[in-house]
Structure 1
Amino acid sequence: MDRILKRLYEIAMFLLLLGNIYDVSAQNTVAVKMQPDTAKVFALEDLQLLVFRYHPVIKQAALLSETARANVLQSLGYFDPELKSGFGRKLFGDTEYYNKWSNELKIPLWLAGADLKVGYDRNVGTYVNPESRTNGQGLSAVGLSIPLGQGLIIDARRNTLRQSRIMVQYAEAEQLKQINSVWYDIVKDYWNWYYAYKQFELVNEGVLLAQRRFEALSRQTIIGDKPAIDSVEAYITVQERIIQKEKTAIELQNARLVLSNHLWNEVGNPLELPADALPELVRQTFSKPNKFLLDTLLGQASDQHPELVKLRTKGAQLAIERSYRQEMMKPKLNVTGNLISSRTDFGSSIPANYDFNWSNYKFGVELAFPLFLRSERGKLREVKIKQQELNYDLQQFGREIKNNITASYNDLSAYSAQLNVQIKSIENQQLLVNGENQKFSLGESTLFLINSRESKLIDMKIKQESMIAGYQKTLAELYYKAGTRQFARQN
């Protein structure tokens, strides 16, 4: 009689436990069934299209080269023609003291740093200086101002223009660097989302397996084939996996939010990654990366890596600056010559001795030379030191870039080898789980062993997905370290 009462008590407690788990199971089953109906694959290629069209940081990086071109335009302003005109008159006591009108068009020339000048002066009046006095028609002049010493080879305006043109290359390299960096971070966030989704999917699969096992044990417990304690243990496994599922659900939600940071539409409004979005499918075979890929990336990096391009551009800039500083050590010797004439138009007829000829001219020479040249020598020495520093930077950065590429390639090779081993290990673990289930159905195993082997299988699958995400992030890192970016079609 006592045994019967004890059995009835176990069944009653079990039925109460069964009611609780069915409530949780029903909620979970609904959530799982809804997802496949509305799921949509959001591939890395889709992300790439959105990012390179609408991402504000990508658009911002494009402004770097525009800014550099604007600086070139400013530097070209030093070669713009300049028109000057001045007028002054003094009239007092019915006497015109002076009436002066000066005009000059100066056209800077690239060759020899010369300036072409065309002018017209009309200076009349009682008290005008005789050396500048003209007749009532005024005088025209055409001439050149040429620096025969300092500034003949290169001057300040040519130095500024050449350096600003080189800065366009520097800005384009910086733009490429920023875009590569942004895309690399986005790719990492994508594969973090992939791993979070796969982790949630596997944990949810574990919840369903535990629920099915609990339901099967429930039926067997009711008819007396299994003790109630097995159902309690199965229920505890369900609870543990539900807790794990809730944790991974939060991680998935956060990973989705992080990836949404990179989604924008054409009008600049932020987008949200749909809750039902699915990451792309990834192949399950991973071959060792081709050695040709490493050689290609190493060769490309040595020629086109943004950091090296920036350093080489800086070197070209310093070379121009050095030429300019060497030019500044020459003495200033400026020569100005103008042919003058009383002609004010091309149709008038004037005497030959008042027209443009080699007998009518203005000529001037200006000479200046610092005796010690300490300022110029100091600036030249500073440029030479910067060039030496730049050469050391090129050596160091070149070596670091090469080693970083090789290290990422080695990591990628290790991931491919580990993944192939992990795939085989999962296949073997699945065989153990299947065998343990068969033994349990024959009464030769325990629920603890089944749960243990099944949990290990889930953990191994989660680890595999983590390794897949790591492999993909390392592949993106390999391209990033080489100074380029991994396009979606290269997967």
Structure 2
Amino acid sequence: MKFFSRSAFGLSVIALFALATSTFANEAELSPETVLPEVQLKEEDQPAGQTLVGVLTFQQFLTQVRANHPKLYSADLDRRIAGAKLLEKQGAFDPGISLETDYLRYNDFSNRGKVSKALDNDLSLGWLTRSGARIATGGRYNTGDVKPPLYPTGSTGEYFLSARMPLLRGFRINEKVAMEMQAEIGIPLADAMFNQSRLSTLLQASYGYWNWVYAHRKVGVSDNLLALATVRYQAIQERVKAGDLPPIDEVEAGQEVQRRAGLLVRSQREYERQLFNLSRYLWEPGGQPAALPEKRAIPEMLPTPDALEEADWMEARKLALETRPELKALNLQKEMVEVDLRQAKNLKLPVLDLFATPGYDTGNESIGPTIKAGVVLTVPLRQRTANGMIAAAEFRTQKLDLEQRLVLQQILLEVDDSVSAINAAYKQYLAANKEYEFAKELEKGERQRFEFGDSTLFLVNQRERSSAEAAMRLLDLEVEYHQTIANFKAVSGQL
């Protein structure tokens, strides 16, 4: 009979394990891969299949930065960490199997000096629900001179189902539920932080791109300026030899060649500096730095500066309020504080739990149905923990409200300022373009006068320098314009 009893209890262990694996199959399969798809890289952020070749347009450049830059990979890992944190907090609701076997040899309380023996076996499958209820099912097998608070069971054990349900404190909101809820909010919060990092990185990359493009154009201006001086120097040398010009003109022409050669070296150095700065944003899909782009990668045709329409301005303000990640992050943080506040208010309630453990005793010397039921009531005399949590949550909410007002104003001011900067850069560009045209006309006229002997080499050099300076200012304003456009797109959440 004992062998049969133990065999029956062993079979119940196997059956209980099978119940656990079938009932909680979905939870057993839960893994980071089932949680993290919500925070994977978006389609437009996916790594490019190969390094861009040929002309590197602005949009191609941003695509490569968005896909491969390590800073954005790092920010994406924070999103994945948030997904893993959610998985961690969900573990509080995982089921568990408990098996306890005790052997007792003790002094019999009813007959002192007599040895009593007992064997206690308890197997249960339990889990916590998100409503706060604790559920368990299992069986127990107690034999021998059972010592209180234990009680004997029939020869094939007792099988039970138990439940403890909170009616006030802990009902639907408790520490574990609150942590899971906040972990769920943490995923879109990490996504907002990723987007904020993305905007910042792409804006800095945009500045680097336009500095690189126009640094090359400035090299062209310096190179053309040197070429003019070199050709003139050779011509003046011939005229000096022929006696048409005094030797001092040859010296002055040679001096101008060296001056412009130095300017070309400075322009080339500035181009190399901007090229190295640009390389900070160019990476291969595998995480290796990309090769430095060649000069032929610089686009020939560039967008012409233009003023921004008021309709674009108003649309940008609307988009900024809808898409800026700072506002989303603040709203999500307020949701987290709201969870803390709900939990704190629940803590002020007394503990009122109902519990019941119906069972069935089986085998020889069994009694059939069994029951244990009751109520637990605990009334706190002071509420300092709950009151402190409520006060802290309310203060955090007030702080976030103030921050939200500041961020709202800051975002709108940033959009307005960027629009003003674009239109100002456009007007300056128009003025600089006219200045450059006039400077070229003066240069052309002075050169013609020099050829007819009505001017001096000094004035020709001055006119050419003025033209080059006007060209440089024009290029600087084009850089400023394109950078203000990038800033406008960033502050309105469109970059």
**TM-score, normalising length: structure 1:** 0.84
Give the match's secondary structure for 1:42.
coil
Unaligned runs of 5+ in 2: 1-52, 108-113
| AA partner of residue 42 (structure 1) | L
Alignment partner of 1:121 out of 129, 136, 140: 140
Q: Could you tell me how far apart the structure 1 residues matched to 2:90 and 2:278 are?
A: 44
Structure 1 CA distance for aligned equivalents of residues 137 and 226 of structure 2: 91
Give 1:289's match in structure 2, choosing from 282, 291, 308: 308
Tell me if the contact between 1:331 and 1:368 (Cα under 8 Å) persists in the aligned partners. Answer: yes
Paired residue for 1:230?
249
Taking the TM superposition and a 5 Å limit, the aligned residue runs for 1:99-118 are: 99-110=119-130, 112-118=131-137
Post-superposition offset of 1:103: 1.3
Paired with 2:140 and 2:68, the residues of 1 have a C-alpha distance of 59
2:398 is paired with a residue whose SS is helix
Matched, 1:54 2:74: no
One-letter code aligned to 1:48: L
Q: In percent, how many aligned pairs have the same letter?
A: 24
Structure 2 equivalent of residue 43 of structure 1:
57
Q: 1:217, 1:64 → 2: CA distance?
A: 68
Shift of 1:249: 1.5
Cα distance in 1 for partners of 2:106, 2:137 equals 33
Deviates more, 1:44-53 or 1:198-207: 44-53
Question: What are the residue-to-residue correspondences of 1:121-160 with 2, within 5 Å?
Answer: 121-129=140-148, 132-160=151-179
1:342-397 per-position Cα deviation (integer Å, ceiling 9, x unaligned): 259xxxx999x714xxxx31113222222121221111111101101110110011
Distance 2:430 2:304 in 1: 7
Equivalent residues in 2 for 1:242-257 (5 A)? Answer: 242-257=261-276
Partner of 1:104, secondary structure, is strand
The CA deviation string for residues 258-297 of structure 1, in whole angstroms up to 9 with x for no partner, is 1112222233222231453442235474220122222222
* Partner of residue 445 from structure 1, selected from 448, 455, 464: 455
1:403: which partner in 2? 413
For 1:482, give the aligned amino acid.
S
Structure 1: how far apart are the matches of 2:74 and 2:375?
51
Task: Give the equivalent residue in structure 1 for 2:335.
Answer: 316
Does 2:441 align with 1:431? yes
**Matched residues in 1 for 2:405 and 2:334: separation?**
13
Q: Which residue of 1 aligns with 2:230?
A: 211
Farther-moved stretch of structure 1 (476-485 vs 246-255): 476-485
1:172 partnered with 2:191? yes
Question: C-alpha separation between the residues in 2 aligned to 1:207 and 1:303?
Answer: 52
Cα separation, partners in 2 of 1:435 and 1:278, compared to 1, 3 Å:
farther
Q: Is the 8 A contact 1:40 1:276 kept in 2?
A: no
Cross-structure match for 2:216: 197
Deviation at 1:84, TM superposition (A): 0.9
The partner residue of 1:417 within 427, 434, 439 is 427
Contact 2:181 2:339 in 1 (8 A): yes
Aligned-partner residue type, residue 244 of structure 1: L
Residue 134 of structure 1 aligns to a residue whose secondary structure is coil
Over 3 Å counting, the alpha-carbon distance change for 1:476 and 1:343 in structure 2 is: farther
Change in CA separation of 1:436 and 1:130 when aligned onto 2, cut-off 3 Å: closer
Against the structure 1 CA distance between its residues 260 and 104, is the aligned structure 2 distance closer, same or farther, given a 3 Å change threshold? same
What is the aligned partner in structure 2 of residue 9 from structure 1? none
Query: Cα deviations across residues 290-341 of structure 1 (Å, max 9, x unaligned)?
Result: 2222222211221221111100000111111111100000001122111111
Amino acid at match of 1:481: V
Cα 1:123–1:448, aligned 2, differ >3 Å: closer, same or farther? same
Identify the residue that residue 8 of structure 2 maps to in structure 1: none
Change (3 A) 1:268 1:283: closer
- CA positional deviation for 1:44: 2.0
1:184/1:477 contact within 8 Å kept: yes
1:218-257 deviation digits (Å, cap 9, x = unpaired): 2222212222211211111111011111122211112111
**Shift, 1:168, TM fit:** 0.7
In angstroms, what is the RMSD of aligned CA positions?
A: 2.2
Q: How far apart, in 2, do the equivalents of 1:289 and 1:221 lie?
A: 55
Query: Relative to 1, partners in 2 of residues 1:317 and 1:441: Cα closer, same or farther, differing over 3 Å?
Result: same
Structure 2 matches for 1:377-388, cutoff 5 A?
377-388=387-398
Partners of 1:207 and 1:267 lie apart in 2 by 43
Partners of 1:178 and 1:350 in 2: how far apart? 71
Q: How far has the Cα of 1:95 moved from its partner?
A: 6.6
Q: Is the contact made by 2:139 and 2:160 (CA closer than 8 Å) also made in structure 1?
A: yes
| CA distance in 1: counterparts of 2:329 and 2:273, whole angstroms | 37
2:346 to 327, 331, 335: 327
What's the TM-score, normalizing by structure 2?
0.84
Question: Is 2:77 the partner of 1:63?
Answer: yes
- Deviation per CA, 1:83-128: give whole Å up to 9, x if none: 1110112469997611001111113222x31122212111111243
The more displaced of 257-266 and 200-209 is 257-266
Look up the match of 1:303.
322
Q: Is the 1:97–1:126 Cα contact (8 Å) retained in structure 2? A: yes
1:153 and 1:327 in contact (8 A); partners too: no
Partner of 2:287: 268
Q: Which amino acid aligns with 1:308?
A: L
* Residue 131 (structure 1) shift: 5.1
Question: Where does the alignment leave 5 or more consecutive residues of structure 1 unmatched?
Answer: 1-38, 486-491
Task: Say if 2:305 and 2:481, in contact at 8 Å, map to a contact too.
Answer: no
For 2:225 and 2:311, locate their aligned partners in 1 and report how far apart those are by CA, in whole Å. Answer: 42
CA distance in 1, matches of 2:236, 2:314: 59
Instruction: Pick the aligned partner of 1:97 from 117, 123, 126.
Output: 117
1:458, 1:229 → 2: CA distance? 24
Q: State the Cα distance separating 1:50 from its structure 2 match.
A: 2.5
The 10-residue stretch of structure 1 (91-100 or 281-290) with the greater mean CA deviation from structure 2: 91-100
Q: Name the residue aligned to 2:30.
A: none
Cα 1:92–1:143 change in 2 (3 A) is closer
Which whole-Å CA distance do the structure 2 matches of 1:362 and 1:298 have between them?
65
Matched positions, count: 437
Give the letter for the 2:396 counterpart.
K
Amino acid across the alignment from 1:310: A
Distance (Å, rounded) in 1 between the aligned partners of 2:408 and 2:165:
44
Between 172-181 and 368-377, report the one with greater CA deviation.
368-377
The amino acid of 1:386's aligned partner reads: R
CA distance in 2, matches of 1:140, 1:82: 17
SS at 2:173 equivalent? coil
Equivalent pair of 2:154/2:365 in contact (CA under 8 Å):
no
Distance 1:267 1:285 in 2: 36
The aligned runs of 1:76-91 (5 Å cut-off) are 76-90=90-104
Deviating 4+ runs (over 4 angstroms): 91-96
Does 2:362 align with 1:340?
Answer: no
